[in-house]
Amino acid sequence: MKNRIFPGIALSPRLTKFGPVMFSGHLTDGLNAVSAAGFKYAELSIRSTSDIDPEELNNTLERLNLKITAIATGQACLFDQLCLGSEDDQFRKKAVEHFRAITLLAKKINSGAVIIGGIRGRLAGSDSDYQKNFDNGVNAMRECAHWTEANGIPLLIEPINRYETNWIFTAADGRDLIERIGVNSVKLLLDTFHMNIEESNIADALIETGDRLGYVHFADNTRHAPGQGQTDFKSILAALEKINYSGPIIAEVLPLPDDKTAVLDTAKFWKSMNISL
């Protein structure tokens, strides 16, 4: 296990009210802090393709010997109404176009994947509208999946807890969704914060997901750095080892008590697990 996982930190290049990212609006400072703490991997939460200059970022990544594991896309829905689950056909179309542009950006910075999490948004309308809106949302995600696959960028689907969305909550929901999408390269991203709310047993959900798991977010039950709350990360790591998981484990956590301390607390957590960065 020690040689198969890649711990990292989630950052936001743009100043944002979206909480669980570090060094919001101060990307270079964040990358420097991540590198100084010993990490080699970072995830970026991108609202717009204009958030970063690919050439400048690539130069910084090379200097610091860092790699971008994925681009998260939820801010575009949260702040710009570009949601793949929108009941408005034009907004949904614009969301797909936005996601395609993010995928091309991912290629430019050699990102390991792109994420569909919060960009799904919430499904609107009455119960009778729900299934139609669900199906439209799945179709939009299928368009995104075909685009990412054609461009050689893995697509990750993230189940999110019931307080932040109203569809795709659990690992089982996510597995059903990727079956509906029907594109073999699509994998699940499972986040321990959301799983702590939605799963009866986090370790079992990970094991049941098996090789459909492509990426992991770590955050404690408080959404602070792992090790700051009550989540049993030893059992989670044991489950990941049982399914031979090989890939990123990114801390998507609140920058508390401050950004630098949260990064250092995450590094201390990995040291306590006897896993080198």
Catalytic residue check, 55: no
Residue 2: the pLDDT is 54
> Over its length of 277 residues, how does the chain's per-residue pLDDT go in tens digits?
555 899 999 999 999 988 899 999 999 999 999 999 999 999 999 999 999 999 999 999 999 999 999 999 999 999 999 999 999 999 999 999 999 999 999 999 999 999 999 999 999 877 778 999 999 999 999 999 999 999 999 999 999 999 999 999 999 999 999 999 999 999 999 999 999 999 999 999 999 999 999 999 999 999 999 999 999 999 999 999 999 999 999 999 999 999 999 999 999 999 999 998 9
Q: Exactly one of 43, 143, 158, 198 is catalytic; which is it?
A: 158
DSSP labels for the chain? -TTTEEEEEEE-SS--S--S-BSTT-HHHHHHHHHHTT--EEEEE-SSGGG--HHHHHHHHHHHT-EEEEEE-THHHHHH---TT-SSHHHHHHHHHHHHHHHHHHHHTT-S-EEESGGG----S-HHHHHHHHHHHHHHHHHHHHHHHHTT--EEE----TTT-SS--SHHHHHHHHHHH--TT-EEEEEHHHHHHH-S-HHHHHHHHGGGEEEEEE--TTSSSTTSSS--HHHHHHHHHHTT--EEEEE-----S-HHHHHHHHHHHHHHTT---
Residue 225: the pLDDT is 98
Q: Exactly one of 43, 198, 199, 252 is catalytic; which is it?
A: 252
pTM of the model: 0.96
Domains and CATH numbers, the chain: 5-272 (3.20.20.150)
Catalytic residue check, 252: yes
Residue 19: the pLDDT is 87
